[in-house]
Amino acid sequence: MPTPKKDKTELQRELIRYDPTAEKQRLNYLNSETPNKVEQKQIFEYTMNAINENKSEVIFIQGVGGSGKTTLAKKIIAAARAKGLLCAGCASTALAATNYENFDTAHGLFKFPVVEEDDKETNEEIKCRVKEYPERLELLQHIKLIVWDEFPSNHREVFESVYKSLDYFKNKIIICMGDFRQIAPVVPGGNRDDIVNASIKASPHWTRFTKLFLTKKMLLDQQNMNPREIEEQKRYGELILAIGEELYDNQDADMLSENKESGEQTYRIGNITHFTNQNDALNFIYPHGFSCCEEMKTKAILASTNTEVDLWNEEIQNLNLNNIHTLYSSDSLSEVDDQKGIFKKMLTEEILNAFNNHTSPPHKLNLKIGDICIILRNIAKREGLTNNTRVRILKIQQYCISVKFISKFKFIT
């Protein structure tokens, strides 16, 4: 559709979106709700000094989960906007972007094309196409502060392409955040060397980053746990950190093996409950079955393969006593996918129904009212319907499913 003639540009809309007075109030509220600790205060002051001095700087904040990265980023953004400066934010996934207001994915913010794995040429460079979108380029040129969450998960070529396209971030402060202990860049079919080479640490630009650190976990201060639970969480957290920093030395666990060539290590974590029987495991994890919603939403089973996921899903769904609804995929290709009818002649209905791939649901999908599911596509980021969002099914119709967010008081159809 053609753009309305009187419609404002992206820059014009951003200029009137945030009021400096309201952003100052937001900053005061965040500070009162979660006061800065020593590390947060030092990083906040360092960043604001860089902004006030109109520097060009790329900062990486390394922090473990629960160290307060998200809250700190919100404070920095509010403080910058309170000065009348333009800010933007992104994350490696749409799910992570929902932790903030008006954040986008990195690919969305910087206009990277979405390319299916099967269509991507081997060794094809990832290219930023923001210069093909004049309005977005104009907006980014006026942005002073960009926050980039879950940064280590992005392929280094994403950063390198943006860095070059935006004139090496001249007169900008770029705050990248994340934890290198978590998910590394995904390289389909790649080995360890390919994954390491895809990391931002393998980039020649990594030396340009100012590295700042958040080392203290804040979640323990906010959770309603008894002293024994806090101590267990603390010991487990120290164990994970020790492995990540190669400082592992704990009497409750032993290293089983080490591959000198690949650098991979296998550890046995001691003092844990384990089961060899599936029913015993289910009774331990879900002792009340589907009768306790709060219990169901705080627990999950992690499986190593898609086959294992299907098996566990079927067993857990059997705990749900509601009637089953069987939904089927389309038996034919749409005209958009097969404009010349070539695939229609090649692919029979039986072949389409038997198609089983991790990128799409199965042909036959069994659901029940009350089931907890995970959304597999970014449907509506503003509404929170993003990949990996957990929801509970409330109503099933032929062309419509109503769900409720597990962690939010919101209903979506």
In a domain, 5, yes or no: no
How many other β-carbons are positioned within 10 Å of the β-carbon of residue 198? Answer: 21
Q: Give the end of a domain, one of 269, 303, 336.
A: 269
Residue 62 pLDDT level (bands cut at 50, 70, 90): very high
pLDDT of residue 413: 40
In this structure, the answer to whether residues 188 and 251 fall within a common structural domain is no
In this structure, the answer to whether residues 228 and 210 fall within a common structural domain is no
In this structure, the answer to whether residues 206 and 309 fall within a common structural domain is no
Comparison of pLDDT for 202 and 122, the residue scoring more: 202
Q: At what angle do helices 278-285 and 306-317 cross, to 10 degrees?
A: 70
In a domain, 103, yes or no: yes
In this structure, the answer to whether residues 405 and 296 fall within a common structural domain is yes
Least trusted range by pLDDT, from 98-112, 187-201, 259-273: 259-273
On the question of pLDDT at 409 being above 60, the answer is no
In this structure, the answer to whether residues 284 and 363 fall within a common structural domain is yes
Concatenate the DSSP letters of all residues of 158-222 into one string: HHHHHHHHTGGGTT-EEEEEE-TTSPPPP-TT--HHHHHHHSGGGSTTGGGSEEEEE-S--HHHH
The answer to whether the pTM exceeds 0.85 is no
On the question of pLDDT at 312 being above 80, the answer is yes
In a domain, 21, yes or no: yes
In this structure, the answer to whether residues 262 and 382 fall within a common structural domain is no
What is the token pair recorded at 366? 């069994």
pLDDT of residue 251: 47
pLDDT of residue 333: 64
In this structure, the answer to whether residues 64 and 193 fall within a common structural domain is yes
Residues 349-372, mean pLDDT to the nearest whole number: 78
In this structure, the answer to whether residues 321 and 234 fall within a common structural domain is no
In a domain, 4, yes or no: no
Give me the percent of the chain exceeding a pLDDT of 90. Answer: 43
For 264, the domain range is 223-269
User: Judging by DSSP bridges, how do beta strands 253-258 and 104-105 pair with one another?
Assistant: unpaired
Residue 250 pLDDT level (bands cut at 50, 70, 90): very low
What are 89's strand-pairing partners?
147
Q: Give the end of a domain, one of 236, 269, 302.
A: 269
Average pLDDT value for the chain: 83
Q: Are 65 and 180 in contact (CB under 8 A)?
A: no
Q: What pLDDT digit, counting tens, does each position of 143-174 carry?
A: 999 999 999 999 999 999 999 999 999 999 99
In this structure, the answer to whether residues 323 and 385 fall within a common structural domain is yes
In a domain, 119, yes or no: no
Residue 192 pLDDT level (bands cut at 50, 70, 90): confident
Q: What pLDDT digit, counting tens, does each position of 92-108 carry?
A: 998 899 899 999 999 99
Residues 334-352, mean pLDDT to the nearest whole number: 69
Rounded to 5 degrees, φ, ψ at 369 are -60, 130
Residues 67-88, mean pLDDT to the nearest whole number: 96
pLDDT of residue 115: 62
In a domain, 2, yes or no: no
On the question of pLDDT at 263 being above 70, the answer is no
In a domain, 1, yes or no: no
Residue 377 pLDDT level (bands cut at 50, 70, 90): confident
pLDDT of residue 163: 96
In this structure, the answer to whether residues 107 and 198 fall within a common structural domain is yes
How far is 86 from 92, CA to CA, in rounded Å? 21
Question: For the chain, how many structural domains are there in total?
Answer: 3
In a domain, 76, yes or no: yes
Residues 348-373, mean pLDDT to the nearest whole number: 79
Q: Give the end of a domain, one of 171, 188, 214.
A: 214
Residue partners of 372: CB distance under 8 A and separation at least 6 = 296, 297, 390, 391, 392, 393, 406
In this structure, the answer to whether residues 49 and 178 fall within a common structural domain is yes
On the question of pLDDT at 296 being above 90, the answer is no
Q: What pLDDT digit, counting tens, does each position of 391-405 carry?
A: 889 999 888 899 888
Q: What pLDDT digit, counting tens, does each position of 39-58 carry?
A: 999 999 999 999 999 999 99
In this structure, the answer to whether residues 48 and 186 fall within a common structural domain is yes
Q: At what angle do helices 38-52 and 69-82 cross, to 10 degrees?
A: 30
On the CB side of 58, CA atoms within 13 Å amount to: 16
